[in-house]
Structure 1
């Protein structure tokens, strides 16, 4: 017995196999099969079509050959230009490195200007001598009479700087440049030095600065009074002891009384950069002390060389 679903499937196949109206059928079908549509006829190309295909292929080959030749020519031109490009790029890097080295030399001159900056009147000799003592600075010329006359003092210095070109094999590029540094009350802090040509001729020489007077440590200790623990310190007696020392006029003295004590300062004027020379003393009931403050406290601006530090000493640095 034939299954109902199988019978429906065969009928559906037979309907699809029937030719559509107007469609050509190809002969008698095999037994048991319905007639179906004809397959498309086999078409053989005409001989002239072979010639057209060959010509098209030749054209394509010629285009490909032309493209290869053009690429080859472009590569050859690039190879010829490569050394020139490397040279141009290298020159640009060298120029940039030289600019960096010049900036480094200018920075040395600018820092020298910072060290020379100040409102204290100084002669051109003093300014030139101070500049010549700065590391990395060569003084070539000093013009002007003093910092407070006219435009002040101008110092032409020569400094050096270096930089690296940054290629695979770095090479240090060093330059020496000259700059003009102006020292005047009207000059600005961190003022940019001016680029100038290095002057001809030998650089100036400066006499060594006069030796500062010696501070009388032992003499001061011997002259200051000793006051009993239950006694009272006399400020005038301390002043008379200082006067008896017959100090050099370059030594400045200061005396101050506070809370039953008397503080004493002996100070030699410094250059504004190096530690100052000073002596401190304090006379109190039961004890008289004389000492030199630590170096760090004697640096300009630290307040170690003051009569206040004699009365109330700063803690020792660690």
Structure 2
């Protein structure tokens, strides 16, 4: 009899514990769960470079912050692919049946506002996916700053030719780089973000009266050379030649590539 009473008490404690867990679980429903899971899975690859990039990706396709918003952004730079590199908190609003025409209401569903925390490492969202959390107090939608456009401006190609032609007969690597920084045209302004393009990476190499220069950005690598006999050229090699593991993209590689025919 005593053992039966103990068993009943344990059963009651388990039921009350389950009820307690249910009561204190943060708000949300199956629809908000699915939205959070889809967003987190979508933005993990290609791997964004920082937390703001994750947030920009999460907001793509979500134009109304009433229904979907990013309310917290935490950047955790790391070289370890297993460790957390970014954390986002999403806020998702499900109107339930409150915004449905009465004739389409098969049953009533209350509106719900749910928040989710998602941790990301190099391989994507961690654990089983976004976790329901209590919405931060007084949380407001965050619009991450726009990203600068990267690339090599079209005006650089002719500028390379002119600058290389006008350089003195004898010049050092530092002097070549200083001249490029001074005389290259200004980068354009992106019409959409109103931000100037990111400055391309410049490099120069000088040897035996020969000069090689490059401007790199956005996957492009503009090459320029001036040979000892005064020959000047500027061109964009095929990316198969400038990618890591091949010739690469440097002032020295520009001189090497000038003698290499493009692949067919």
Task: Flag the structure with more relative contact order, 1 or 2, with Cα contacts below 8 A and sequence separation at least 6.
Answer: 2
The alignment's TM-score, normalised by the length of structure 1, stands at 0.40
